[in-house]
Amino acid sequence: MGKSKNPNNQADIDGDVSDSVIVTGNGNTINTGKSILDYWQTIAIIFVLLLVIIVIFMFSSSSFPFLNGTAGAETQTPTLTFTPSPIPTDTVPPGAPTSTPVPPTDTPTLTPSPIPPVPLGEDWMKGCISSLWRGYPSTIQTVERGDGCLREPVHVFSAEFGDLDFLYHRTGRGESEVYGLFAPLPESGTVTFTIRLRELTNVDLLMGIFAQPDINSQGLMMILLNGNPQRTVFIQKDPSNYVTIQGTKALEQGNGYSLSFKFDNLSVISIVNPNVFVTNSVSVPSSQKWLFLGYKGLRDAYRIDGTFLNFELKP
């Protein structure tokens, strides 16, 4: 490579200078062969690389977890935890008994009120036998019909039109037997009724007041003797042995035989109305007494047919 002098003080360089640069200084210019465009291209490339690095850095934690060591970690959904507020309770003093409240029911249970018995003296007028009456002996079963009355007939007794009717016929042989009805009485008072008979064959009609619902208990017993029902007598008998104590003369039935019992907590008397006959006072020391209406069928066959009516109970 040769050199030559130049009157303009420029250095001449021989050979291929396409890759050279130009250096200028102190009025001298050296051309190296690099253009200004080449430098701007280099700067642009560096700028683009820096921009890419910045973008990668900005998104590395969210879009590229593998760059910040979070690759493979599970993404968890936050869970909301609900803690119920405590329900306040009553403070129970130490040692005080505790109770468990009964939960309310949707449908209240209604207990039907029992129907009271029809009062004595009103039942026959209503065509019923009050549930206050009970059969005697105990083999006579009574059933309430739900309106304060008994289901009828009660043995041979039935009520209608204000009367208590009875009708029975036993055929063939048999021992004597007693059937009837007992009803409780107040501590004191007077009970009156009428008897009408149609037949009284080999059977006595019994009426009385006793200390217990039993004809063998202490009491006063009156009897219409068997025979002709249109003309008969009242007899007072001892209920314990059926022995006659006293009686009336023969009486005509007419519209019926009327009989009363007057009683208190100590004793009982009987009156054949209208004051035809009055018994002696019989001691029955009991605040609760029982009225009996019935009959005694004598041995062998018997037949009874009649009515009790005009029943009245006064204090």
User: CA–CA separation, 24 vs 29, rounded Å?
Assistant: 4
Task: State the amino acid at position 175 in one-letter form.
Answer: E
Planar angle of CA 284, 203, 184, nearest 5 degrees:
30
User: CA–CA separation, 264 vs 34, rounded Å?
Assistant: 156
Residues 6 or more apart whose Cβ sits within 8 Å of residue 209: 185, 191, 219, 220, 261, 263, 268, 284, 289, 290, 291, 292
> In the CATH hierarchy, which fold is given to the domain comprising 124-314?
Jelly Rolls (2.60.120)
The stretches of 60-195 forming alpha helices (DSSP H) are: none
Enumerate the domain spans of the chain. 124-314
Q: Which two tokens stand for residue 255?
A: 């519209």
Using pLDDT thresholds of 50, 70 and 90, give the confidence band for residue 9. very low
Task: State the amino acid at position 177 in one-letter form.
Answer: E
Res. 66: pLDDT tops 50: no
User: CA–CA separation, 169 vs 303, rounded Å?
Assistant: 4
pTM of this structure: 0.66
**Residue range 210-228, pLDDT digits in tens:** 999 999 999 999 999 999 9
- What's the pLDDT score for residue 174? 94
User: CA–CA separation, 66 vs 75, rounded Å?
Assistant: 14
